[in-house]
Structure 1
Amino acid sequence: MIDPLAEVVSLLQPELRYSKVVAGVGAWRVRRLEAGEPFYCVILDGSCHLTVAGHEPIGLQAGDFVLIPSAHGFAMASSTPMAPGEGDTTPIALLDGEFRLGRESGPADIRLLVGHCSFASPDAALLVSLLPEVVHISGEARLAMLVELVGEESRALRPARDVVLARLLEVLFIEALRVTARSAAPPSLLRGLADPRLAAAIRRMHENPARSWTVGQLAKEAALSRSTFFDRFGRVVGVAPMEYLTAWRMALAKKLLREKEGGIAEIAERVGYGSASTFSVAFSRHVGMPPAHYAREQV
C-alpha cells in the first residue's frame, strides 16, 4: 500500500544543516525575521516561550519539539520577563561549543537544541505548503524518548556525534509529522491523512496518479457523497481535491524529468495526462516553463 506521508517526506529529502546547543540564564529574547528556512527546536531542560507570526504564543517545556517547515518571523524568549526597553539578546559562544543567552555566568535555566534543516527537493515550497506552518509536539512518550536520546547525544563528545544527531533528528521530524496528523492541527495534508475517509482517497491518488480521476470517483473511494467529500477535503486538507491532485502530479512529473525517466509523452501518461501537449500546457501553467525547458535546466 502506498504511504502518502512517506512519499512526501521522501520527496522533501530533509537534511540536517546546522544545529547547536543553547543554554539560557535569566532574561533573554532572540528573534528571526527572515523566511523560508526550516527551523527546529528541542527543549532539553527548562521552559521558554515561542511566538510565531500569525499564531498565538506557545509555552514550551522540557521534552517538547517544534518544527517550523518554512520559518516565518518568530521570537523565542525566557520564562523570566525582559526588563522594559531591553533589546534582543545576542548568543555568546562558549569554549565547549555551546552558546549562552542572557547572563554569561550561573546555572542554566534552560537548555535547547536548535538548528536549521534543509529540504533538498526542488519542490520543497510546493510540498511544505501541504504541511502546517508550525508543528509543536508536547507530552508524547515516543517523541520524549527521542528527545532524550538527542539530548544525551548532544551533551556527549562521542565519535560520529553529528552523524548520529542528524539521523535522530530525521526520525524526530517524521515522528512529529505522524503525531501532528492525529492532532487538531490547522488544515493540511497531515490532517487529511488522519481522516480515514479522506485518507482512502488520498492513498488512491498516490497509488494511481495516471488515472483520470474526477471528484465523484474520489468521493466514492472515500465512501462520501460528492458534495460532502469536496467540502470536507477543502476544510481538512486546505485545498480542493483536484488542486491537491494536480500539485502531486506536478511534483512527480518534476522528479521524473529531473531523473530523465522517459520522454515528455511517457511522463505525461504516467502522471495522468492524455497527451504530451495537454501535459505541457498544465506543466507550464503550474511551474512557469514547459517540461522540456525544465528538463534541460536540470542538467
Structure 2
Amino acid sequence: MRRDDHGQPFYAAVLEGACRLAIDGEAEIVLTAGDFVLIPAASAFAASSLVAPSAGRAPPVKVGPGVFRLGPPEMPPDLRMLVGNCTFASDDVDLLLSLLPRFVHVRGVGRLAMLLGLVNEESRAHRPGREVVLARLLEVLLIEALRSTTGPTAPSGLLRGLADERLAAALRRMHERPTVPWMVAALAREAGLSRSTFFERFRREVGVAPMAYLLAWRIALAKDLLGREGAGVAEVAERVGYGCASTFSTAFARYVGRPPIHYAREQRAQPRSPAPLNV
C-alpha cells in the first residue's frame, strides 16, 4: 500500500500483527501491535506485509462502515490497523509542521497501549455513540503520541523545547506577552541562562533561533487577528508587538508573501472552522 499525496497529516495504530513502513527519506521500520505512527506532513510512504506478497495487487474491499480489507480474500489477515487523516484547522500550518518531528513513532508506552486497546474494542463494537467515543479516544491518542516525542532523544521542535524547564519559561513569556520588545538577552534572563547558552540551547532544542521563533509567533497571531476580527493593519501591528504599521506590513509581506491587507481580504472571504483540530 503506497501513498504519495501530501498535505494531510496521517496516523496509523497497529492493533494486531505487524508490517513494514517505509517513509521517503527515512530508514524502514517494522511496526508491531501497540505501535503508533504520526506523519504530520504526510510524506510519501509505503506499508507492506512481512509475509511474501501475492502476485498482483487487488484493490481494497469494503467489508463494513469504514473497514477495508487488502490482499487475497482467501488468506487469513496478518495485520489489523487503524488509519486516518487529520486536518489542522489553522492558517499557520507551516509554523506548526516546522515545529513537529517529521514523523512520530511510539512503542512501548503503557498509556498509549491502553488507549489503543480501548480504540480496538470500540472499533469492533456497534454500541450507541460509537463514532463519538472513537473521535474522543483518537484525540487523546494523538495528544499522548505527541507527549511521547519529548525528551533528550526526541527530534528538535516546540514539544522538545517545552520539555526543557528553562526554555519553557522563555517560550511561555513569548506566547503570553508578544507585544514586549523581546531581545535574546531578556529571554535568556527569563530562562535563567547566559545569553550565549540560551541562544544555542534554544536553537538546538526548538530547531530555530529565538528571534526567528518570536517572529513566526507574532505573524501567526497577526494572521489570526486579520482573518477573524476585522481589525485594521495598524491595530494588529500594535497587538503583536510592532511600533508602526509600515514596519509590521514589511515584515508580514516578507514572511507570508503578500501584504496584510491582501491577506485579510482573502481570509474574510473564506469560511472558517471553529475547531482547532478535526480528527
TM-score, normalization: structure 1? 0.84
Aligned pairs (5 A) from 1:1-299: 30-82=1-53, 90-94=59-63, 98-182=67-151, 184-260=153-229, 262-299=231-268
**How many Å separate the matches in 2 of 1:119 and 1:76?**
24
CA distance, structure 2, for counterparts of residue 248 and residue 215 of structure 1: 15
Give the Cα separation in 1 of the matches to 2:232 and 2:60: 52
What whole-Å deviation, never above 9, does each CA across 1:106-155 have from its counterpart, x for those lacking one?
Answer: 43221101111111212112211111110111111111111111111111
Task: Give the AA of the match of 1:74.
Answer: F
Whole-Å separation in 2 of the counterparts to 1:105 and 1:198:
56
Distance across 2 between alignment mates of 1:247 and 1:54: 27
Q: 2:149 touches 2:155 (CA, 8 Å); kept in 1?
A: no
What code does the residue aligned with 1:72 have? S
CA contact (8 A) 2:185 2:195 kept: yes
Distance between the aligned counterparts of 2:144 and 2:43, measured in 1?
22
Shift, 1:88, TM fit: 5.6
1:111 aligned counterpart, secondary structure = strand
**Match of residue 23 from structure 1:** none
For residues 16-75 of structure 1, the C-alpha deviation after alignment (integer angstroms, 9 at most, x for no partner) is xxxxxxxxxxxxxx1112222110001111111211111112221211111111111111
Shift of 1:253: 0.9
Distance 2:232 2:88 in 1: 27
Distance (Å, rounded) in 1 between the aligned partners of 2:82 and 2:143:
17
Distance in structure 1 (CA, Å) of the matches to 2:59 and 2:95: 34
CA-to-partner distance for each residue in 1:174-202, whole Å, 9 max, x for gaps? Answer: 11111112362221111111112211111
- The answer to whether the 8 Å contact 1:31/1:88 transfers is no
Q: Is this contact kept in 1: 2:7–2:42, CA < 8 A?
A: yes
Task: Mark the CA change 1:88 to 1:191 in structure 2 (over 3 Å): closer, same or farther.
Answer: farther
The ranges of structure 1 where at least 4 consecutive aligned residues each deviate by more than 4 angstroms after the TM superposition are 86-89
Distance 2:152 2:30 in 1: 17
SS of residue in 1 equivalent to 2:254? helix
CA contact 2:252–2:259 (8 Å) conserved in 1: yes
CA apart distance, 1:95: 5.0
The alignment partner of 1:115 has SS state of strand
Letter in 2 for 1:55: E
Q: Distance in 2 between matches of 1:182 and 1:89?
A: 42
**Secondary structure at 2:220 match in 1:** helix
CA contact (8 A) 1:182 1:191 kept: yes
Q: Is the 8 A contact 1:37 1:117 kept in 2?
A: yes
Q: 1:202 to 1:89 in 2, by over 3 A?
A: farther
Ranges in structure 2 where 5+ consecutive residues have no aligned partner: 269-279
Q: Secondary structure at the match of 2:211?
A: helix
Between Structure 1 and Structure 2, how many residues are aligned?
268
Identity across matched positions, percent? 61
Where 1:151 maps in the other structure, the secondary structure is: helix
**1:242–1:58: structure 2 CA closer, same or farther, 3 Å change rule?**
same
Q: Which residue of 2 aligns with 1:9?
A: none
Is the partner of 1:94 in helix, strand or coil? Answer: strand
Report the TM-score, using the length of structure 2 for normalisation: 0.90
Cα root mean square deviation, aligned: 1.8
List gaps (5 residues or longer) in structure 1.
1-29
